[in-house]
Structures are given as structure tokens and as C-alpha cells.
Structure 1
Amino acid sequence: MTIGGLTAMSPVSFAEGPKDMNAQFDADLSSLAAFGILRSGGAGDEACGNWIGQRLEKAGFKIGEQAFSVPWFKAEQAVLSVGEATLPVWPQAVVTQPGPNGLVAPLGIYSTDDDRSRLADVIAVVDLPYARHSSLKQPNILNRIRAAEEAGAKAILLVTNGPTGDPLMLNAHAETPAAQVPICILGPSVAGPVFEAAARGDSARLMVRGQSGHRLARNIFGWRDGTGPVLVVSTPRSGWFTCIGERGPGIVSFLQLADSLPRLAGGRPVLMVATSGHEYENLGAAEFLSAKAPDPQGVELWLHLGAGFAARNWHEAAGTLAPLDSPDPQRFLLASEGLVPVLQQAFSKLSGLRAPYELDNTAAGEVGTIVRHGYNRVFGLLGAHRFHHSPNDDLRMTNGHFIAPVVAAIQNSLKELLP
């Protein structure tokens, strides 16, 4: 079996966990996968939002929604032609198209600072360092984009070197493109002919054509009445692809907690929100916090269920990926200072989560946005598994066996934090 640019060995079998909870998680993951691509405001994201709203309503919540505008692009053609090869590229949002006939220019490699002087009037092939890339605003990406544009590059190809060899789409601000020239993602597994052509000084044609515009995306939230300060639970639901390892653990945990929180909240009101707009640098969360979230002084606790905190781990060896029957430990538990001792105990048996990091205003993702809006009793989970932002982030990437222990730790934490 081939996954991205790597050959994978046969998958191992799942270990057994609590069968009833695991089965429900697996069923919910399958439902999520059936929605397809989860890009903000698209058909999959809308179907997912409706499904979450129905589940919240069934659990006794009053449902509301908040609409906001997001950019969209539907590619009709996105290829790089190099000699006899025609390679797929992924237009990076916010998309700038090169014109109806494409763009023809020499290829120029941008791997080190010394390469900048050779980028004028070329298609710059930016050889990114090996990482689990996720955002255009990461300095090792944004600085290279700016340098290539300032040097006069006509277009930019980002080679997203990482564990899988896959193209990795990058989160971006919704307002404006990161550069005034076209930017596309090129998967490392297919980039060989491009580097060879660039070394010879050959030219290539970049062709990107499609439809674009703005559309409405929706935050979906549910409210249960109670007395006292509010318990808030949030999770993002949108993403570049099907996002099962990225979005799945948060969404299915969110749905399970919708059923159990009324018992754990101690009569407090409960607000649950599933935000769209995640791939536009947490736009949906920012919109919710600005217009719909309760005042920080009226919030008892805010739990955020972020990306990929129960996604599959893989062995990497000799150009292969072998699936493991355990979650990737590259995951993080972030918490306000006073919550750390309780969380250390509750998550003590979960690799990667057993050592909480103290939250501050510099935290990444939605949980950082929450803290910067003045909420001071917050904890959140997030991670970036190997297929994070890859088109191959599918049902192989997580299961109920990985998710159930995390949900149990969350519930144990809430029992202590909500006396």
C-alpha cells in the first residue's frame, strides 16, 4: 500500500477498548468521513454543521448559528508542466490565478539564503525544511515567501517536506493573499522532476484555473440553561480535506460530551460551539468570540477540543510508514495556571498529554485566541499528526480506541474542576 510518497506496511489490528463507547466513536467517525471535504462553507462543512446541530438538539440543547464570510476556490485545472511531466499542484488560499494561459518561466530553486539572488523572473521552488507544516504564517514559510516575492519571483511553489511526502495545505488569513504572485503547494513525492529541471535551468508552465469568490460559513452552537457561571466547550469542524485525524477526535469527543456534560456541570449553564473558518487562521472562533461568546467574567471554565489529539502514530523507517496501534504522542495539553495540577493527575497515563503546558497569550490555535480574549480558566488539547493537512487524512488515522481514554480523562478533570 502506498500513502503519499511512502510505502506503508500492512496495518496492525486495533486493540479492544470499552466496546460501547468505542463503537459509538467509530460510528461517528464514519459519519464524519461521509461528509467529504470540510472546507469552510462548502457542502461537507455545511452537512457536518447540520449533523452536529441535530445531535446537540437531541441532547437537549437550544440551537443557534452565526454566519460569516469566507473565501473559496474550486480548481478546474491546477498543474505544473515540466518537460514531458505534468504534475499536480494545490493552489494555496487565498488563491491568485496566473491568467487564462498560465505562466511560463524558468524554474529556480530556493533552498538557502544564497539562492535569493537567482529568483528574479522565475517560478521559485521553495524547498521547505522538514516539518509537520500547517500555516503560512509560520516564520520558516512566510519569510521565504516574502523573500521570493521581493527578489522578483513570478510564482512560488512550496515543497512541503514532511513525514508523508504529501502536499500539505497551509492555513492562511482570509483577507488577502500572502503574496501578489501565485502560490501553490507541491508534494515532495512528485517534486523530483521539478528539482532536476530547475538544476538545468529549464522552464515550466504553471496553470491554475478555477472559480472563486466568497460564501457564508456558519458557527453552530448549543445552549443549556442553568444557574451560575457558564461551562463552554468548543471545537473547530472545518479543514482543507476530509481531516479525520485532524478534526475527528475533537468532533466525536464534543458529541459525546454533549450527552455527559449536563451531569458534570453541576446545574451550571452549558454552551457548546463548533466553529467553521478554521483554515483561515481560526476565523470562526474569532467571529464567535467577538460577537457571541459570554463575558469572560461569566465563564467558569472553557474547554477547547483542538486538532489531532488522538490520531494514529506511525513508524518511519527506510522510506516507509508503518501504522501503529497507538496515538501519536506529538500532542499537547495547554491549561491556565491553576488547572495544571488537576490535569496532570487526570491525564497521567496519556503520552504527550501527561505534562500540561501553562497557557499564555502567545499560545497557537483557537485556544490562544480564547485566552487573548480574556478567559482565564481554560484548557485545551491539540496536536499535529503525520497526515495533518494532507489529502490522505482519512479513516485510517484515528479510531474509538484512541479517543476513549482522552474523553475519560476530560470527564475526570471536569469532575474535579467543577465542584
Structure 2
Amino acid sequence: MFKHAKHLYGFGGSGGNMEDSAQTDIQGWDAIDDHRTGTAGDRQTSEWLIAQARAAGLVAQQEGFGLSRWILESCTVRHADVVADGVPMFDGGTTGAQGVSGRLSLLEGEAAPDSATIGLGSFGNAAGTANRALADARKAGSHRALVAVSNMDPRVTGLALNNADRFRTPFGPPVLQVATEHERWLRGAAARAEPVTLTAHVGFETATGTNVVCPLPGREPDLAPLAVLTPKSAWWVCTAERGGGIAVWLALLRHFDANRPRRDVLFVATSGHELGHLGLDHFLTTNARRDAHAWMHLGANFAAMGSRIRLQASDADLLGTARSALAAAAVSVATTTPLGERPGGEARNIHDLGGRYVSLLGTNPWFHHPDDRWPVTVDLDRTRRIIDAARVIASALV
């Protein structure tokens, strides 16, 4: 189900104009067909980013962190002769090879569950109140297991996956995520309280995730640096989800190499995004360079077709700077996280430390979906305009 990365290095040069670089960088990301943390694709992505920095005349390095990587063995839900393959939630429980059996029951409107019941729910941006019902069932731990139907967007069916925010501290029963197409027969079985068998049999192997860190010296090294942060891992290829952040990160790296700033700029690309921000946690725990003047978080999905842009900042000054730059670049902001509210994405880690930050995210119909690929899902024109805005924002912070 999860493929190994191909060894493709043909994309991602450092030269050329900004328009060429944006497309080339996103294609370079898309050419690596596995970005999961701790995989060959994760390491290949780090090597590719380091090569881009080297081509710009800078020295970047990998910083590794350990994890126990899940290896899927047999992950299915079976009812009579009907079988659905799935992927367990990586911060939930697991089963043995034989799985567990029980009566299937709808979570929403369910009477008090018992330990012989397997609950059926759904999750995703289009799942509405079902998200809360599933979260409550996981927390309560009263079911033998749970089946979770992926429902990220009504226009994009299939198996999109949920992030494992508690990867280091898994909890609750096994939860098997299955594709949207299985919802009808599963609901029918649940309505009749029929028995199903759920298997979430996995192995574990020791692995290493890799961050990329690239310091760019400024003219006044005694000043606290600007940190430019973007995630570099994902469940699948996830090009519109992650490729925009990568393209802006590389564009800013090249810009400040050519236009040396007053402050140092620290470029950080972290793995472990889908696993509770493992890579960023490692960086913030082990790296003395975390105390930045400000953080610029290049988050998920702002490169996606139809994305509704979300702006986040720690204070009114940073929010105003970002709003003005985006407006000047004709980039519409759909929502703004209220000041003081815990933000989404990796910006939340910076918020929790009391750091200053400005953060850009968006929505994506193909969020966490294997069909999120170049060129179909990417709004390249808007990504180029966001690069223009990002250069203005970053220049104001150095």
C-alpha cells in the first residue's frame, strides 16, 4: 500500500527565474514518491534539499532522530465475504494476526457500547460531527476496535489518512481507516448489528527520520535569527499539501543568499509532520538555535487548487505585515486565527514555547490523499504570488 521512493534527481535546480524555480521545485518534490517519516523517500528528500542548498552556495545538513516505524502486515475489516483493506491510525492500538471480532455498531446515536462491539465512524473535513463521535470513542476506549471511514472531501473519495498526533504515546483501541467507497456496506452491516473481524496487525522496525537545517549567515550575527520552517514529510506524495511550503522555503533560501540579510536566517525543514511533529520536537529539544527573533511557518495546502488561505500570527504587528504583503500580491486570505488562540500546524509548537511567529496554511480537497499530485492539484500561479509575498514578509523580519 505504501510504495518505496524512486531515485529521481532530475528536478530542482537553483538557477533561473522565480517562476521557473517554483514549478521545478514542486516537480522535484513530486518526483519522490514516498515522503513518510523514516523511509528511503524521507532520506532522499533530505538529500535533494541539501543539494539545492549546495547549488546556491550554502551548506545544509541532516539531523536525524529515532522512531519505531510501523510496518503494515495485515490490515482489513471483513464482513462475510466482503473485505476492505485499510491503514490503522498510528497512535491507536493494534491486533494480532487473527484480528478481533464483534458486532458492528454506528458510533453516532449509539447506546452505551460494550467491549464486544466494534464501532463504525468517520473522520475528515467533510465528516462534521462524526469527528467528535470518533474522538470520544477513542478516548473512552470502550469498544473492542473501531472502523473509521475517510471523508475528507465529497469531491475526492478514497483513502485519506488522519495524522497520528500521539504517535509517541498511542492510546485507545485499534482504529482501522478505510476508503470512502466502503461506507455503504459497512453502514448496512452496522444497522443490522452484524459481526465483523478487524485486523490491524503491524510490525515495528527501528528507523531514523531526518530534518534538514541550513544556516544562512547575516551581516550582524549577534542578532537573534529569523527561522524559516516547513515540514518535509507526509503520508503519501502530497504535492499540493507540502510542495508549496517547500517551494517557498527554497525561494527564500536563494533570495537571501543573493541578498545577504542583516540577521542570520535559519532554514529548517522537518520530518515527522504526520506523526505528531516528531522532527520539530526533536529540533526544539536539542538545538540551541531555536531561540529565534521570529519564526516563519510555511504550512500545509496553500498551493492547492481551490485552497482557502488561513493566516496565523503571534501578534498584531506580524499579522499586519503578512496581510499587507499577501494583499499586495493579490493573495486572498479566507480566515485568520484569532490572536492568542493556539494555531494549527507546526506553528502550535512555537506558540507553546512563547515564540513569535507568522504562519500560512490552507485547505485542500486532496488533503492526505494519494491523488494529491502534480500538476492536477497545484495552483502554480497563486504559489508564485505567495512566494512574492513571502519574500516581503521575510525581508521585514531580518
TM-score range, shorter chain: 0.7 to 0.9
Name whichever of 357-366 and 407-416 sits farther off: 357-366
Query: What amino acid is the match of 1:351?
Result: S
What is the aligned-residue RMSD (CA, Å)?
Answer: 2.5
Query: Does the Cα contact within 8 Å between 2:148 and 2:177 map onto a contact in 1?
Result: yes
- Identify the match of residue 235 of structure 1 among 206, 230, 238: 230
Residue by residue over 1:284-337, the C-alpha shift from the partner in whole angstroms, topping out at 9 and shown as x without a partner, is 1121112215253xx333211111112112xxxxxxxxxxxxxx1253343532
Find 1:285's aligned residue among 260, 267, 280: 280
1:410 maps onto 2:390 in alignment: yes
Partner of 1:318: none
- Alignment of structure 1 residues 297-316 onto 2, 5 Å: 299-313=292-306
**Aligned match of 1:218:** 210
1:379 and 2:348 aligned: no
Note the alpha carbon deviations across 1:159-206, whole angstroms, 9 max, x for none.
232312333322221223231x21111222221111111212221222
Match of 2:50?
53
Are the structure 2 counterparts of residues 335 and 191 from structure 1 closer, same or farther at C-alpha, using a change threshold of 3 Å? Answer: same
Instruction: Provide the C-alpha distance between the structure 2 equivalents of 1:162 and 1:74, rounded to a whole number of angstroms.
Output: 24
Quote the offset at 1:406 in angstroms. 0.3
User: Is the 1:308–1:331 Cα contact (8 Å) retained in structure 2?
Assistant: no
* Equivalence for 1:367: 347
Which consecutive segments of 4 or more residues in structure 1 shift more than 6 A? none
Number of paired residues?
Answer: 373
TM-score, normalised via structure 2 length? 0.86
- Does the C-alpha gap of structure 1 residues 22 and 335 become closer, same or farther in structure 2, counting only changes over 3 Å? farther
Which of 308, 316, 324 aligns to 1:329? It is: 308
SS in 2 for 1:397: coil
Which structure shows the bigger proportion of residues in strand conformation? 1
Equivalent-residue separation in structure 2 for 1:351 and 1:141 (angstroms): 33
Out of 316, 322, 325, which is 1:343 matched to? 322
- The answer on whether the counterparts of 1:70 and 1:174 sit within 8 Å (CA) in structure 2 is no
Which protein, 1 or 2, shows the higher relative CO under an 8 Å CA cutoff with sep ≥ 6? 1
Q: 1:176 aligns with which of 157, 161, 169?
A: 169
1:343 Cα deviation from its structure 2 partner: 1.9
User: Which residue identity does 1:286 align to in structure 2?
Assistant: D
Match of 1:38 among 35, 39, 45: 35
Task: Tell me the equivalent position of 2:19.
Answer: 22
1:221 CA displacement: 0.3
Deviations 1:343-394 (A, max 9, x none): 22111121226x6545436222211211222322x21111231211122222
Shift of the 391–407 alpha-carbon distance from structure 1 to 2, 3 Å rule, reads: same
Give the counterpart of 1:392 among 352, 355, 371: 371
- 1:294 match: secondary structure: helix
- 1:105 aligned partner, one-letter code: G
Q: How does 1:46-125 map to 2 (within 5 A)?
A: 46-94=43-91, 96-112=93-109, 115-125=110-120
Provide closer, same or farther for how the CA distance between residues 47 and 145 of structure 1 changes in structure 2, counting only shifts above 3 A: same
Alpha-carbon distance between aligned partners in 2 of 1:58 and 1:403, rounded to the nearest angstrom? 22
Partner of 1:199: 191
Check conservation: 1:221, 1:273, Cα contact below 8 A. yes
Alpha-carbon shift at residue 119 of structure 1 (Å): 4.4
Q: What CA distance in whole angstroms lies between the structure 2 residues aligned with 1:171 and 1:230?
A: 30
Which residue of structure 2 aligns with residue 155 of structure 1? 145
| 1:252 partnered with 2:247 | yes
State how far apart, in whole Å, the 1-side matches of 2:137 and 2:93 are.
18
Q: Which amino acid aligns with 2:57?
A: G
Percent of aligned pairs sharing the same letter:
24
Structure 2 vs 1, CA of residues 184 and 363 (structure 1 numbering), >3 Å: closer, same or farther?
same
Gaps of 5+ in 2: 1-15
Q: Is 2:308–2:363's contact at 8 Å kept on the other side of the alignment? A: no
Matched residue type, 1:68? F
Matched position secondary structure for 1:51:
helix
**Alpha carbons of 1:373 and 1:132: their partners in 2 closer, same or farther (altered >3 Å)?**
farther
SS of 1:117 mapped into structure 2: coil
Secondary structure of 1:234 counterpart = strand
Match of 1:275 among 266, 270, 279: 270
Kept in 2: contact 1:126–1:159 (CA 8 A): yes
